A and B are shown apart, each in its own frame.
Chain A
Amino acid sequence: MAKRTKKYDIFIVAAILLFAVIMIFLNLLIPQKGIIGVKVTIDGVLAVSISQDGLYPVEKDGKHLLTVEFYQGKARVKESTCDNQICVKTGWISNTNQTIVCLPYKIVVEPIGGKNTDGVDIITW
Chain B
Amino acid sequence: MRAKDFSSISKSTVLIFSMLGISLILLLFIIFSKPLPTYEKSEIFSLGTYVRIYIAGGKVSSKSLLKIAEKEIERLYAKYSSNIPSSVVYQLNEKREIECDEESLFLFQAAVNVSKITGDSFDPTLRPVLMLWGFDDVNSSKRVPSSYEIEQVLPFVSYKFIDIDSKNRKIKLLKEGVTVDLGGISKGFIVDRVIDRIKEIDPKATGFIDAGGDIGIIGPKFGNRPWQIGIRDPFSSDPAKLIDTLYIYSGAVATSGNYERYFIQNGTLYHHIIDPKTGYPANNCRSCTVISDKVMTADAYATGLFVLGIDNPALEYFTKFGVQAYLIDNTGKTVESSGFEYFRNKVK
Which residues in A have some Cβ–Cβ distance to B below 8 Å?
1-3, 5-6, 9-10, 12-13, 16-17, 20-21, 24, 41, 43-44, 84, 86, 89-91, 93, 95, 98-99, 101, 103-104, 106, 108, 110, 119-125
Contact = CB atoms under 8 A, between A and B. Distances in A.
A63 to B, nearest CB: 15
A78 B307 CA distance: 35
B271 to A, nearest CB: 12
Contacts, number: 114
A124 B25 contact: no
Given A84-B261, A123-B239, 17 more contacts: A2-B3, A2-B4, A5-B7, A6-B6, A9-B14, A89-B238, A90-B238, A90-B239, A108-B43, A108-B50, A120-B229, A122-B229, A122-B230, A123-B242, A124-B231, A124-B246, A125-B257
A91 B237 contact: yes
B240 A123 contact: yes
Given A12-B14, A13-B18, A90-B238, A122 B227 contact: yes
B138 A120 contact: no
A119 B18 contact: no
Interface string B34-50: 00000000011100011
Nearest to A44: B44
B198 interface: no
A103 B51 CA distance: 11
Interface stretch (B83-91, B96-104, B208-216): B208-216
A81 to B, nearest CB: 14
Interface in B1-29: 3-4, 6-7, 9, 11, 14, 17-18, 21-22, 25-26, 29
A13 B14 contact: yes
Contacts of B213: 123-125
Contact of B210 (A1, A13, A122): A122
B27 to A, nearest CB: 12
Contacts of B139: 104
Interface of B: 3-4, 6-7, 9, 11, 14, 17-18, 21-22, 25-26, 29, 43-45, 49-50, 52, 138-139, 208, 210, 212-215, 221, 227-232, 237-240, 242, 245-246, 253-255, 257, 259-261, 289
Contacts of A103: 45, 49-50, 138
A16 B4 CA distance: 26
Given A12-B14, A13-B17, A124 B230 contact: yes
Nearest to B42: A44
28 contacts: A2-B7, A6-B9, A9-B14, A12-B14, A16-B18, A20-B25, A24-B25, A44-B43, A84-B138, A90-B237, A90-B238, A90-B240, A91-B237, A95-B240, A103-B138, A104-B139, A108-B43, A120-B229, A121-B208, A122-B52, A122-B228, A123-B229, A123-B239, A123-B242, A124-B213, A124-B246, A124-B255, A125-B231
A106 B48 CA distance: 10
Nearest to A88: B237
A98 B242 CA distance: 12
Nearest to A95: B240
